[in-house]
Structure 1
Amino acid sequence: MKATFLPKFARYVGWPAQRQPGAGAPFMLCAIGRDPFGRLLDAAAAAEQIDGHGVMVRRLPDERGAGACHLAFVQGRQPADTGRLLLALRNLPVLTITDARAGPQRGMIHFTNLSGRVRFFINDAEAARRGLTISSRLLALAAGVTQRR
């Protein structure tokens, strides 16, 4: 279920003009660190088209090369690794996504299970700090939102 959400998030996020993909170029969805999704993520990304842009998946063992990513699912081998990776991405205009099953560290979007359902929280304040704009349509679906200041 989470793998299908990841590429769809690009539809509801605006990046600074210099970070928008060029004509015919895809949005880059990166799995940084551990990738719990495998082929499910590839299949979900291949099915997504956003304003004429596809979604391409890249897998990175660490933060090196993350500047090319638009979205990044971040999960270290240990919770401390996830925190270190998020810290390394803190100044990049990359939408970071994490999962509660991997530890307490939170990206801008953070998956969790509530009452047996996959839900997510959004830190809109952190997204704004990095120059990202999250659509009110996505914010309305979140289980909770940290508002912009």
Structure 2
Amino acid sequence: MTHEDAGHYARKHGPKAVVNTATRDMLSIRAIKGKLPCAVAFKVAKDLGRSPKDVGRTADLMELRLVKCQLGLFGYYPKKSILKPLSSVNTDLEKVILEELKDNRLPCKKAWEIAKRFGVHKIKLGSACNALEIKIAPCQLGAF
């Protein structure tokens, strides 16, 4: 969703979307001033045995703003992104990234898997994709 959609995240799920009460209760405790960091959303998903997508949907229905993307793509104040420009990308890493593209984009989940496989921080993988001019989508939480 775009910045203009801020505060209207529930719209994308339609009027019949239902909030999972256990997830809602946990997010109510963990969110700060209407914001929910990506890492916290994933911790809630793990703790409750829910999918990240389900937690993201509940966050949307609660009008919580997702922040501090673990790939560095969004939610950092005052800058939107914290990606550091890379002058080059490891050729093996680039090859795997290119192999995992779907519709010219790298799914967030695949980005996490590649980062783990290569032993690099998720933000560094986000920077590598940025250097290669590859968009990461879809987000596991449904932010984009």
TM-score, normalising length from structure 1?
A: 0.28
TM-score, normalising length from structure 2?
A: 0.28
Q: Which has the larger radius of gyration?
A: 2
Structure holding more strand per residue? 1
Structure holding more helix per residue? 2
